[in-house]
Amino acid sequence: MKTLYFDHAATTPVSEQVLAEMLPYFEHQYGNASAMYALGRQSKRAIEQARKRVANAINAKQSEIYFTSCGSESDNLAIKGIAYANRNRGNHIITSKIEHHAVLNTCKTLEKQGLEVTYLNVDENGFIDINQLINSIRSTTILISIMFANNEIGTIEPIQKIGKIARANNIIFHTDAVQAIGNVRIDVNKLNIDSLSMSGHKFYAPKGIGALYVREGVKFEKIQDGGHQEKDKRAGTENVAEIVGLGKAIEDVYANYERYNEHLQNLRDFYIAQIEQKIPTAKLNGDRRSRLPGNANFSFSNINAQKLLLELDEKGICASAGSACSTGNPEPSHVLVAIGLDRNLSEGTLRTTFGKDNTKQDVEFLVDSLVNIIQKNTIYIGVKRRIDKCVLLCRLSGCIR
């Protein structure tokens, strides 16, 4: 049975080109980048080439890029590092209620350490309340951290507007851009972004490698002690092969940006149109226009998402009920709660995220499978309700006890 993968927001496969560029650094060019001999210097040059590629992709300086292990570490390093280094300026942070847990839980940790955090509301499409943002700013506000695009519902926030507000108030602006890299063109200067997190495995690089951009002049402290790697901001021997892979992947995804994202958007729009035509009770979550090109998040009534995922899996289809980091959590998604979705719909939510290898035929099979599962479930519920009604009537008439 063929596997059809529609969960690219969770992770992507490593591309052939990226893997080919990584392989020498596992076998032949294996030197420690901190070593002085030629083998070490080769690794150091490879890291700096990757740093340059990342910087070019977001119009940053090479010296403003720091390599980490993942997006979550990048978020932690940015938010904690900036908070610790700027305590003399204030102790207040502003974020939103729909951030990834790498941001939310980092902020909760800082609250335990005496910092104050404001969590902004969002509307039914997932946009932050700009007026609430402005009104939340204090003289002690040192950081605003708002995600570029939501990992569950795909809504792209008004980043340029947020950055302008932060810059006008002399507040550092960080954005978790893990879902946006490769799917949105990003210029950190035009958008007034002071710090940005990314994760390689979201754009065809391997898992276990991320990067953090911090604008020159923004103070931040390291949160991991050890050696003096990454300009003394992130201790630990560099993962040379994966750093090379991230650099190659980000260069490739932006070199093919128009074609890649047009492909994703065509699949997404076809899928949305087909679902709304064939399952008219389905509800699309997130903004219809300002959303990631490959993201479609639907809620279906009277069906549990876990049941839906299991039945799709039996057909060889991989999708998601939401963030991969929250799998197994019985509570409704904090994102769906924040946009005001009722519990019945929240429990029947399916996130579908497309990638470069998906085809229209794949999407047609996905739609047909969903229609079949939903119809079967609707018939089952209808029969069960009729049986329950008959049992109730029999009990009321004394036929059964």
Active site residues: 325
d(CA 348, CA 358): 24
Angle at 83 (CA atoms; ends 114, 180), nearest 5 degrees: 125
φ/ψ of 118, rounded to 5, equals -105, 130
Taking alpha carbons only, the member of 156, 19, 163, 148 closest to residue 75 is: 148
In the numeric block, the tokens 């509570």 are attached to 331
Largest CA distance in the chain: 92
**Buried residues in 229-266 as b, exposed as e (16+ CB within 10 A):** bbeebbeeebbbbbbbbbbbbbbbbbeeeeebbebbbe
Taking alpha carbons only, the member of 228, 175, 198 closest to residue 50 is: 198
Is 294 within 8 Å of 353 (Cβ atoms)? yes
d(CA 140, CA 168): 15
φ/ψ of 86, rounded to 5, equals -120, 25
φ/ψ of 232, rounded to 5, equals 65, 25
Residues with Cβ within 8 Å of residue 32, at least 6 apart in sequence: 40, 43, 237
221, with CB counted inside 10 A (0-12, 13-18, 19+), is middle
| HSE (side-chain half, CA atoms, 13 Å) at 70 | 10
